[in-house]
Each structure stands twice: as structure tokens, then as C-alpha cells.
Structure 1
Amino acid sequence: MSFQDFAVTARPEQGPPRLAALREQMAAERLAGFLVPRADAHQGEYVAPCDDRLAWLTGFTGSAGFALVLADKAGVFIDGRYRVQVKSQVADCFTPVPWPETKAGDWLLENLDSGLVGYDPWLHTPREIETIEAALAGTEIGLKPVDNLVDRIWADRPARPTAPAEAFPVEIAGLTSGEKREMVAEALRKAGHAACVLTLPDSICWMLNIRGADIAHNPVVQCFAIVFDDACVALFAGPAKFEALGPDPDISIAPLDAFEGALGQLSGPVRLDKTSVPVLVQQVLESFEISIAWGDDPCVLPKACKTDAEIAATRAAHLRDGAAMVEFLCWLDQQTPGTFTEIDVVKALEGFRAATNQLREISFETISGSGPNGAIVHYRVSEESNRTAQDGDLLLVDSGAQYTDGTTDITRTMPIGTPTAEHKDRFTRVLKGMIAISMARFPKGIAGRDLDVLARNALWQVGLDYDHGTGHGVGVYLSVHEGPQRISRASTLPLEPGMILSNEPGYYKEGAYGIRIENLIVVSPVDTPEGGDDHRTMYGFETLTWTPIDRRLIETALLTPQERAWLDTYHATCWENLSSRLSPEAKTWLESMTAPL
């Protein structure tokens, strides 16, 4: 079942006493403030329950944000995806703050005259701390690393995860662990670095061809690693995690608490990624006068550019998942408005995925938002919020699956009963944006920010927009949100062949409805027309997701002939790819939903 009992989340009535207890600890340490991030020591997007301090303190369950607690104020910083959600989750003692429009340093300058603000050096990156300190330079406000104050007052904190690791098939990975370790070592040697420290779980899992179950819906192993320029690796985690993998002479395994001591024994230069390593690692190396070389995590870009084997496996996973989605959509069309709930939708969809007999996990908590709940971008249904879908609603379902051969992420928006003219106009404008990205052709060197406008243009023409990025990277039986590739206004990284991204423009009318259409796509080389010598290397996108888009919400007059042709071809390919995989009932449904416009 996808909806969670958020055991660590503060209910509104728990917020004030927990905040008061934290302020008592601040006073005892003579701190004017304390920083509570939504992060763990590994700096991945997703955290285990034992590390979800922000949710425990404030009640906010979004995947990004932080709190700044002062003696008389407590701000919860949230981005555009969560500005509706946060209102219903946090008590009045916490004030939502729009972020990144409002930076932490600027907020402190506005709300604090002087004093030290504490932070846990395990939970923040050097870039985060440097950015805040730069804003506070020349003032009487400073930052101070301290033991975590939330942990002192969290009496029933859950235990740390201990799930064992498993080997990931090299037939899907396309490269052996030894080959990947040599790639990393070669990058270190070229840069003149003796070693690098890895803390991102998906980087380590990619490099070692392993997967785990330490984080719900993300098959990662929580551990730290030091990679040396001879391709040897020192791994730090509970040794029991790796018993099933067998010995490797080039990989040593030590307990997690040996990590700090091992840092002090290194010879420099040691590469650290300023955007992902904990500040504590920097502090330890500096205390031993070990030279630091700032640079990118050497696994991130190779992991993002999938091998041919990974792309082939992902195609297969999406065909399986597409068939499950069609079975679900056929089921949904048989339901009568007013007789089923958001949770019923979640159970049905996950049941069809489980029926493939190859589902390992869902890839994130299924978003099933009807009517006004659909306007909450990252809405997660609970027993308390569960709503019955009514005639005239739009139903937004954003979901995904983890299969051994691939990770899926798909959003479809469906009418419950008869849609309004406004519903159809907004839906079609979102669809135009999704098609524009799908059809894009661009020269080598173009970044996600250069394409983001294509997804928004049809909305901008009538004064509308959406407050989230257009696309995020996706792994292969790894994290459903994977960097560094993105399609967003902030992304400067050039897109390269093999990068898998989501393509998901949307529109949200608070208190009324939400619309999002999402396919996964992969960057691929495309042929250029015959001509002179001035043709550039060109890329485009191959679509991976095959599930029909609800034609009942399409205002065909708004589509250009090229857009209609793209959609007809897409639907014809859905029929070709999926019809042989379906039950007779779902096959009949698919035939009607994929007929040409």
C-alpha cells in the first residue's frame, strides 16, 4: 500500500512542545538558533525514518527544505512544489518561508541581531555552509558546528536501517564493478588526486554494482566509501550488509564508526564534492592537514550516461509497466464517480504492477490526487486526507515502479465524469509542452535550462505557469530522482546521450484541480539532413514511456498539425507495443484510446 503512516511526523499538536524542547537545548548550548535540514549524512534526497528530523520536528514531509529555529521564530523553508502542502502539515508555531527566493543567510540577517546558529556538520555540505557564512560576513551572527540537538530530544527515534546488499546483474549494468572502479581511478589519476570520498549512496551502488533496501522505494545501500587512484575501495558500513557478495581483494569493509579514523590516515590530495560531502569530512581532513581537492563526485556523470545495456533493459521495464498502467486505466474507467477513493486508486494501481510478478518496489509514494488534492504537487494520500472522487473532478496519478531492469515514473491526468472547457484548455496546453520537449532537436552542448521554455510556452501565452522543474534524471533500478541532469531553469549541465529524464509539465489551480503529464525520455543522437560542412552534432529524445494520454481532455483545435501527428504516432506505438501484453478487456479499451485524433 502506497500511503504511509508517517510515524516520525509531528502532528500539529506535537509541533509546539517539540519546538519548545529544541529551544531548551539551544539555550543550554547558548545558541541563538539551530538549523534543521531534510538531509542525512549521505546527502541523498531520500532519508530513512531515523534521519527524518525535519518531519519529526515540524510535520513537513516534502523531499526538500529545512527549518531555521530561533528563540522567537521558526521558519520552514519550502520550494514551489510544497507551498500548498506545507500549510496543512505544520503547526502555527512554524512559519512557511518561500525558498530559494528567500535564502537562509538573508532570513537570519532579517530576524536575528547577533549570536551563534548551530548546525550538525554531518548533515550539511561545504557549499551550504559557505553560502550562509558569506551572507553573514561582517555581522555579529555566526555558525557553529555542534552535536545534533534534535537527536537529544527525539526519545523514540527509529533504528538505523540494516538491510543487506545484493549484487546487481552485470548483464543490465553493461560494465563490471572492476571496470567502473578503474574509470573512477583513471579520473583521479588524470587530476592528480590520490583518493576521493564518496557519500552518495547511489554513486557507491552504481560503482560497485550493488543494490540494497535501506531507503524505502530506493534500492540503495547506506555506506561511505574511499576510492583510491589504484582502483581499490575502502567501504564503511555494517559488515553484515555485504556477506552475500563474497570477498574482493580490492575492496575492504570496515564498520561505519571507523570512517572518521580512516579519513585521518589518508594521503592527499583527497577529492571532495562540495555539493554532496558532509562538512565533517572536510573538517576532519583539515584537522590532520591533509590537502583537499574540490571536484565533482567522479561517479555522477558516468552514472547519468546510461550504457546500451541499461537503456535496453529500461525499455523492457517500461513495456511491462505500460501494460500494467493500461490495465489500471481500464479499471478506472469502469468505476462510478462517488464510489471510489484516492486510496482505492493507489491499491488498484499497485495491484496491477504487482501482478507483473517482477515488481521489486514502487519507486516513490504514489500520488493520487482528486479535485483540489491534485493541486498539491507532491500530495501523498493518507487515511485523513483520503477523498472520494466526484463527478467533474480531475484525477492526477503520479506513480512509478522499481524493477530489476529499470525504474519507471509516469503521470497521467484523467477526467472523472465530464470535464469542463477550462479543464480541457489547461490540459491541452500542458500536453503541448510535453510534446514540444518530446519533439525537440538540439545541438551538443545545450543544457536543460535551454529547453525548459519549450514546455512552458503554451501556458505562458495565457499568463500561466507551474512552480517545479520540467524534468529530473532517473536511474536504472536506482533513485527515481537522479542528478545531475535536469530540465529546469537552473540546470546548466549539457545534456548527453544516455541520460534518462522525466518530461512532466503541469498546471495547478489551488483548491480546484491539478494537471500533469509525464513520460520518461532518453537523450539520443539524431541524424541531421544532408548538406554542407556546417552541420552540428544533434541530439533529441527517445520516448521510453508507453501509456495513452486521455483524449477526453484534449481540445484538438489547440493542437498544431505537427502536434496531432506526434500524438497519433505515439498512440499507434502504444497499441503496437502493448496490445499483445493485455487482458482482452484492457486490449479493447486500449484500442479505443489510441485511435487517431
Structure 2
Amino acid sequence: MSQTARFQSFEDPSHREGAARIAALRAAMAQRGLAGFVVPRADEHQSEYVPPNAERLAWLTGFTGSAGTAVVLADKAALVVDGRYTLQAGEQVDTAVVTPVPLAETSVEAWIEANLPAGGVLAYDPWLHTADGLARLERAAAAAGGRVEPTSLNLVDLVWIDRPAAPRAPVVPHPEHLSGEAAAAKLDRVRAALARARLDALVVSDPHNLAWAFNIRGGDVAHTPLPLGYAVIPREGRPRLFLDPGKVGTEAAAALDGLADRDEPGALPDALDALGAAKARVRIDAATGAVALGRRVEAAGGSLDVGPDPITAMKAVKNAAEIAGSRAAHVRDGAAVTRFLAWLAREAPGGAISEIDAVVRLEAFRAESNALREVAFPTISGSGPNGAIVHYRVTRGTDRRVQPGELFLIDSGAQYGDGTTDITRTVAVGTPSAEMRDRFTRVLKGHIAIATASFPRGTTGAQIDAFARRPLWEAGLDFDHGTGHGVGAFLSVHEGPQRIAKTGTAALQPGMIVSNEPGYYKPRAFGIRIENLVLVEEREIPGGERPMLGFETLTLAPIDLALVAPDLLTREETAWLDAYHARVRETVSDLVDAETRAWLAEATQPVSSGVRHPA
């Protein structure tokens, strides 16, 4: 079977050059009298996915995860990663040179405080740190008896001889029938928000917000249609866009020139100086605004206001056109995923399918729609024990067969021009054990609890997160990730501020899209996750006294009934599952081939019928 995917690489990361690269970095530090240098996994916009020229952490250490920070001192180095990447970090880096450090045990700041020599200068790139992040570094260095100092040029860039050029993917207009609102109207809303906050200008540093506000998309990073750049939106007057002119073709120029003045990115520092000289009060986004931006404004005499970019909250609430686009994308995606699940049911029991085979086949089904723009993230395709690794990414070195008697977990998503999808399904290959069925059904109960929840306006994700965990808690079990993240409209598959998690502090609002993905993971054995995307909607409750909200499930694909223990479900839970499967069957059947249609009819039979569903 072919093992080539259009959007995903399966190459094994290499740390063979890590020692030489860190040695070169240490030489650059020594030449400047520096005790250490901080290398975050970040670009100038603090993006989740970064372009190849910003993959400094991966180049230096071999670690390819989406979050992590290395601190390199003259005689030691640490890579601090969260629980998603503890195993991955240990496998990818040269542990004789770099020590992987679990964040749960030691934070970056704690490691600096314990290891930075007294009087030592810890250097950092001011374009790769936010104000809050820098404040933490400063406190840690001071506690160690040292100090931090910015560099005018990133030291990794100095020693990265074959560093790729900055991306120059074309900027394209995002049509109004999909965006649902003209860019001019969006900019008016931004100006109104600035006026309410008594701000003179906003520096847009988040490429997602740039794309949304100006109704443009791009291709500068993998998996998310982002044009990398900046904007300055004044409370009065025309915005200024800072985009590489080589990325802006005739069509994009025609759309943008009616909205804003355009400059090269190199003109941004002068624009910040001008804001400072005018004594402007300038909002810098706390989440994505680099320290370098604010310092430039302040140095020129301006007043800095670090806080949330108001575009973030606007973008999170989808309008009618964006919601319609998401529904259409999910119908299309549901047909592709259903075809994949039917194929998997036919082929996997023979033991010939590998994790990579599954990724390639699912991508092919999506591509056959002729609407697929990209995968929304690298597909997580984990069989047996690999499924227990929450953010597992298959490579040619880790690829294993999907074997009878095991569970197979596949978490994937797609970028279509009208919407972004994200779905996880866990399936049994062969006959599942009683333990597997118990754990799966408890995860399903938690999933249903979120799907059917009603809650008053103003409720945060943290307040409903426990709904998904209670069935697991009752058995002394839990999972160590959030229950749900926000999702964009042909933008990031991970979008804030909304999330369903213990730390989800943003109030859920009608029009927000979030994932519903409880799970369970037994180390070195199996993993379970059931994920659908849901839309926050208004909910009428007869006799109710307060405005209420609930969720509409957007994702449409079967849930493996071979893993369901019916005696663990309540009557209401069974009714939800049967109704969901009836909706999937009715919506998707006419969009798939006859063989898949026959499989779907069997796979979505009502649990309440008492029919036994074979694996």
C-alpha cells in the first residue's frame, strides 16, 4: 500500500546534530559574555504552527512538539515540556546534551532559578516572548542572582547556516458569502471597541485576527490558512497592513487597498515609533504581542496597554454564514470519515493496515471531495499502546500494525474553504475486552453529558468540564487534558478564548464552536477518545426563568457500538446515541458508496433495539 500523504510527513526526527548545534550556540553565547540563552517553541506571533524558518527549537534540539522551551547554559541544557510531550521529548533529543524536564515537575522559571549561575546574564529574543512571559524570566533570573538581557539578533539564527527563507505564500481574499461580514464592517467594530476602551490604536500581532479582520487567508504555515504579518488599526483613520508585497497579488491588492494602507514588514518599527511620538495609548495583545513591539512604542514616548486583542472575542462568535459553512463542511467531512471507518472495518481485522496506511487513506477520502485545502493538524493515528499517547504522531520509525484484539484511535481534522473540522473516533479491532467496553462507555457517557447540557448564559467552560469527567471519576479514573477547545471558521483548529476545561474562564456564547472530547488512556495498553464539534446555541426550556444555552452537535460519523456496554447507559443516554446515529445515517447515506451505505446501516442500528453489534 502507498504510504504517501499530501499534507503530512512521516519522517523520523533526528537529533544526530544536536550536540554540534548546541556547541555552536554556546560559542556564540561565550563571545558575548552570556551565561545562557532561552529558545522557546515560538515565532514572532506566538503561533501554534510556525513556518520552517521559525522552527528554532526543532533545529537546535530535534524536538518537534508544538510547545516547549529550551534553556541552554554553558555547561547544561534543559528542554521543558508539558505532559503531552514527555515521552516524545525523551525520544527525539540527545539526552546526553539536553535534559528533558516535565513541566509538572519543574517549570522553566524554576529550572532557571536553580541553575543560572550568580551574576550570569540570560539572553532572550524580544520578538519571541510576551510581556508576561518576560516578567517570569526576569523574576527567575533575579532569584538566581542574575539578570536577563535582550539580544538584537536571535543567537540560533546566527549559527543556523542553512535556515530557510521566510514564507511567501499568496494572500487570497476570503469571500463575503463565507465570512458573513464585510471587512469594513469588522474594522468599524474594532474601532468602536478601541473607543470604548479609550485606546488610540491596536497592534494586531495575531495572524488569525489579521486574517479574520481583513477577510484574507494565506498559506505561510502548515495546517492553518494564515498570512503572516501585522496591522496597526487606529481609532480614527485608515489601518496600516504590514505584509510582504510579494505575497499580495492583484486580487488581494484590490480587496485590501480599499481598506488599509499597505507597507512592507520592515516598515513596522517606524510605524510604532510614530505611535509613540504621537503619545498614543496603544493596545498590545497580551497573548501574542512580542515584547519588542511594546518597547518600541514606549521608547518613542507612547503609552502601552497590554491586554486582550478585541478581535479575538469577535472572531470566536460565528455569524450565520460561518455557521452554515461549518455545517456544510461537517456533512462533507462526515461522509469522508464514514467511508474511512467502513474501509477500516473491512481491512483492519486482517492485520495488514498500519497507522500510516490509515492516515493516508483518510486523507485520500477527504481529498476526493475536491474541497480539501489542508489537514487541520497532523493526524493522530494510534494503535494499541500508541493510542495511549495523547498527542502521538506516527513516523516511519514508530509505525505499527492495527492488530486484532486492540483499540485503534484516530484524531483528525480538515480545512475546507467553508469550515474547519476535528473528529476523534476509537474503534475495536476484533473483540474488545470487558475493560475496554467499560472505559469506552464511561467516556461516551461523559461525551453525552456535554452534548445534552443546558446551562445559563455566562457559564464558563470550567463550570461544565466536570460533566464529562463524572462517569470516569465514579470509577476512580480521569483524563489529563481539557474536554474541549474552540475552533475557527476556516482558521485555527485550536481557537480561543472559549474552551471546556478546568481552566476555561471565558463565558460560552451563542455562535461559538468548541470540541467535546473526553477520553481515557491506559499507559502502554490503549487510548480512548470520542470527539465531536459542537455549536453553542440558545436553548428554550419550558417554564424556565433564565436565558439558557446548549449545544448543537456538528460532527456526523458513527460511534463504534461494539465498544458500548448498554447496561451502563441510562435510558436518556441510549436515546441520545440512537438519535445521533439516526441523524448520521439520514444525512450521510446518500453521500457514500453502496458498500459503505450497507455498513453504515448496520453500524448505526439503535442500541435500544437490543441487537448485538459485532466488532
Q: TM-score range by the shorter chain?
A: over 0.9
Deviation at 1:183, TM superposition (A): 0.4
Deviation at 1:355, TM superposition (A): 0.8
Partner of 1:269: 281
Deviation at 1:133, TM superposition (A): 2.1
State how far apart, in whole Å, the 2-side matches of 1:340 and 1:245 are: 44
State how far apart, in whole Å, the 2-side matches of 1:482 and 1:53 are: 24
Deviation at 1:232, TM superposition (A): 2.0
- Aligned-partner residue type, residue 147 of structure 2: G
SS of the residue 1:299 aligns to: helix
- Aligned-partner residue type, residue 34 of structure 1: F
Contact 1:523–1:540, Cα closer than 8 Å, also in 2: yes
- Aligned-partner residue type, residue 319 of structure 2: T
Give CA-to-partner distance per residue, 1:185-238, whole Å, 9 cap, x none.
111122221111011111000000011111111111000110111262111121
Contact 1:181–1:232, Cα closer than 8 Å, also in 2: no
SS of the residue 1:185 aligns to: helix
1:245 and 2:257 are equivalent in the alignment: no
Contact 1:184–1:231, Cα closer than 8 Å, also in 2: no
Which ranges in structure 1 are unaligned for 5 or more consecutive residues? none
Give CA-to-partner distance per residue, 1:278-318, whole Å, 9 cap, x none.
00001111111111122311210000000011111100110
**Pairing partner for 2:345 from 333, 355, 361:** 333
- Aligned-partner residue type, residue 176 of structure 1: A
- 1:396-415 matches, within 5 Å, as 396-415=409-428
1:315 and 2:319 are equivalent in the alignment: no
1:43 and 2:55 are equivalent in the alignment: no
Deviation at 1:84, TM superposition (A): 2.5
Deviation at 1:71, TM superposition (A): 2.2
Partner of 1:258: 267
- 1:365-404 matches, within 5 Å, as 365-404=378-417
1:129 and 2:134 are equivalent in the alignment: yes
**Pairing partner for 1:475 from 488, 491, 495:** 488
1:593 and 2:603 are equivalent in the alignment: yes
Deviation at 1:103, TM superposition (A): 2.6
SS of the residue 1:68 aligns to: strand
- CA spacing shift, 1:340–1:249, aligned 2, 3 Å: closer
- CA spacing shift, 1:469–1:231, aligned 2, 3 Å: farther
Deviation at 1:137, TM superposition (A): 4.3
1:84 and 2:90 are equivalent in the alignment: no
**Pairing partner for 1:177 from 177, 183, 187:** 183
Partner of 2:577: 567
- Aligned-partner residue type, residue 51 of structure 1: A
- CA spacing shift, 1:101–1:269, aligned 2, 3 Å: farther
SS of the residue 1:467 aligns to: coil
Partner of 2:215: 209
- CA spacing shift, 1:441–1:135, aligned 2, 3 Å: farther
- CA spacing shift, 1:178–1:100, aligned 2, 3 Å: farther
- Aligned-partner residue type, residue 201 of structure 2: A
Deviates more, 1:134-143 or 1:555-564: 134-143
- 1:111-122 matches, within 5 Å, as 111-114=115-118, 115-122=120-127
Partner of 2:308: 296
Partner of 2:610: none
State how far apart, in whole Å, the 2-side matches of 1:250 and 1:409 are: 33
Deviation at 1:570, TM superposition (A): 0.7
- CA spacing shift, 1:96–1:109, aligned 2, 3 Å: same
Contact 1:397–1:412, Cα closer than 8 Å, also in 2: yes
State how far apart, in whole Å, the 2-side matches of 1:101 and 1:454 are: 28
- Aligned-partner residue type, residue 86 of structure 1: A
1:306 and 2:318 are equivalent in the alignment: yes
Which ranges in structure 2 are unaligned for 5 or more consecutive residues? 608-615
Deviation at 1:263, TM superposition (A): 0.8
State how far apart, in whole Å, the 1-side matches of 2:434 and 2:237 are: 61
Deviation at 1:424, TM superposition (A): 1.2
TM-score by length of 2: 0.94
Contact 2:116–2:144, Cα closer than 8 Å, also in 1: no
**Pairing partner for 2:590 from 559, 562, 580:** 580
1:355 and 2:368 are equivalent in the alignment: yes
**Pairing partner for 2:72 from 66, 69, 72:** 69
- Aligned-partner residue type, residue 130 of structure 1: A
- Aligned-partner residue type, residue 302 of structure 1: M
State how far apart, in whole Å, the 2-side matches of 1:19 and 1:6 are: 23
State how far apart, in whole Å, the 2-side matches of 1:94 and 1:566 are: 50
Deviation at 1:462, TM superposition (A): 2.2
**Pairing partner for 1:447 from 449, 454, 460:** 460
Contact 2:113–2:143, Cα closer than 8 Å, also in 1: no
Contact 1:372–1:512, Cα closer than 8 Å, also in 2: yes
Contact 1:3–1:382, Cα closer than 8 Å, also in 2: no
Deviation at 1:560, TM superposition (A): 1.6
Deviates more, 1:127-136 or 1:292-301: 127-136
TM-score by length of 1: 0.96
State how far apart, in whole Å, the 2-side matches of 1:27 and 1:34 are: 11
Contact 1:231–1:250, Cα closer than 8 Å, also in 2: no
Deviates more, 1:305-314 or 1:291-300: 291-300
Partner of 1:556: 566
Deviation at 1:99, TM superposition (A): 2.1
- Aligned-partner residue type, residue 482 of structure 1: E
SS of the residue 1:334 aligns to: helix
Give CA-to-partner distance per residue, 1:542-567, whole Å, 9 cap, x none.
10001010001111222122211111
State how far apart, in whole Å, the 2-side matches of 1:40 and 1:222 are: 10
SS of the residue 1:83 aligns to: helix
State how far apart, in whole Å, the 2-side matches of 1:276 and 1:595 are: 48
- CA spacing shift, 1:451–1:484, aligned 2, 3 Å: same
State how far apart, in whole Å, the 1-side matches of 2:57 and 2:475 are: 38
SS of the residue 2:430 aligns to: coil
Deviation at 1:51, TM superposition (A): 0.5
SS of the residue 1:118 aligns to: strand
**Pairing partner for 2:63 from 60, 63, 67:** 60
Give CA-to-partner distance per residue, 1:389-439, whole Å, 9 cap, x none.
111121111111111110000000111222112211111111111111111
Deviation at 1:95, TM superposition (A): 1.9
- Aligned-partner residue type, residue 217 of structure 1: H
- Aligned-partner residue type, residue 524 of structure 1: E
Q: What is the root-mean-square deviation of aligned Cα atoms in Å? A: 1.5
Partner of 2:612: none
Partner of 1:32: 35
Partner of 1:110: 114
**Pairing partner for 2:16 from 5, 10, 13:** 13
SS of the residue 1:13 aligns to: coil
Deviates more, 1:583-592 or 1:266-275: 266-275
Contact 2:205–2:285, Cα closer than 8 Å, also in 1: no
State how far apart, in whole Å, the 2-side matches of 1:352 and 1:34 are: 45
Partner of 2:515: 502
State how far apart, in whole Å, the 1-side matches of 2:500 and 2:261 are: 38
SS of the residue 1:77 aligns to: strand
State how far apart, in whole Å, the 2-side matches of 1:344 and 1:105 are: 42
- Aligned-partner residue type, residue 510 of structure 1: P
State how far apart, in whole Å, the 2-side matches of 1:31 and 1:545 are: 52
Deviates more, 1:432-441 or 1:101-110: 101-110
Deviation at 1:101, TM superposition (A): 5.6
State how far apart, in whole Å, the 1-side matches of 2:46 and 2:494 are: 13
Q: Which runs of 4+ in 1 moved over 4 A?
A: 135-139
How many matched pairs? 592
SS of the residue 1:202 aligns to: helix
